[in-house]
Every structure is written in structure tokens, then in C-alpha cells.
Amino acid sequence: MRVRQATLKDKDQIFKLFDELTDEVNKKRGYATDTRRTVEIGSRVFEEIIERKDTMIFVAEDESRNQLLGLVTFYLLPNIRHGWHRGHVEDIVVTKSSRNQGVGKKMFAAVKEYCRKNNIKVIKLDSGNELTNAHRFYEKVGGKHTEKMFRFDL
């Protein structure tokens, strides 16, 4: 398995991973399954993300099967008050068949290494309150619960 940055050719597999995440989160939250799929919602934004320098998608790939096992979406955010950029992880997805095999750990290590090489000192992420398995994973890879996140739907 190798971790690398996503390219346009990964689009279909990335959208399948996002659909798996959406279905799982909706089930935990008691929502109806969204019949719209990521490809319908995010195609334009995906292509923009691939071209940007401040937004990345890291993917874990099983090269022998040409299959993506997981992804991490990562954003660089400027922080005026501190005078540096921080990283923000929005999504971490590991396909169900590859969980508990070190895929998430390797992807997060790749994100941390990218940050070290680019003088990014802090990574933040937010996570739904009901995603307790994810919270345990974040703690295992060195995350600390430090603040509350608030959402404003407009």
C-alpha cells in the first residue's frame, strides 16, 4: 500500500469512498439515505480541488489491485493572528473492508509528514459527535480534544 496525492484519474473511486462515508454517517445519525451520490454533488468541486495548491486529497492505494482503500481531505488555512498556516482535515475515509489494517494510520502519517516538510505546526479536524470509533482513532494517532466546533446552516 502506498499513500499519495489524488489525481483526476482517482475521481470515481474517491466518490465511491465518499458515498460509503455518507451512508455510514447518515445511518448513525438516523437520517434517510441520501439518494444523490457524490458524483452528482461534487464533480465540479473535485476538479477544482485537484488543481489547487492549498487543498489536497491524500489516498491510500493498493497498487496490486489498483484500488483506493481510503482518503484524507486536507486544507491549508492561513492564520493571521499567529502568522502561519495550519492544516485542517475535513474527511478521513477507510473502506469497511480495509479498516483496522493500518490504512488510516498510514494516511494520517503522510499528512503529518507533509505538514512537517512544509512548516505547518498544527492540524485540526472536526468530527461528528456520534462517530466514537473515529474519535478513538484520532486519539491513537496523537489527537487531543481541545475545543468545541459549532456549525451554522444557512
Q: Give tens-digit pLDDT for 68-127.
A: 999 999 999 999 998 999 999 999 999 999 999 999 999 999 999 999 999 999 999 988
Residue 57, CA atoms < 13 Å, CB-side half-sphere: 25
Strand ordering across the sheet containing 55-62: 2-5, 55-62, 67-79, 84-94, 123-125
β-bridge pairing 84-94 and 123-125 = parallel
State percent of the chain over pLDDT 70. 95
Give the Cα separation of 97 and 85 in Å (integer). 35
How does the average pLDDT of the chain come out, rounded? 90
- Residue 94 backbone phi and psi in degrees, to 5: -125, 125
CATH 3.90.320.10 is right for the domain spanning 2-140: no
User: Is residue 37 very low, low, confident or very high in pLDDT (cuts 50, 70, 90)?
Assistant: low
Instruction: Label each residue of 81-105 as H, E or C.
Output: CCCEEEEEEEEEEECHHHCCCCHHH
Amino acid code (one letter) for 45: V
| pLDDT computed for residue 125 by the predictor | 93
33 pLDDT band, cuts 50/70/90, is: low
Q: What is the reported pLDDT for 9?
A: 95
Q: Model-level pTM?
A: 0.87
Domain extent listing, the chain: 2-140
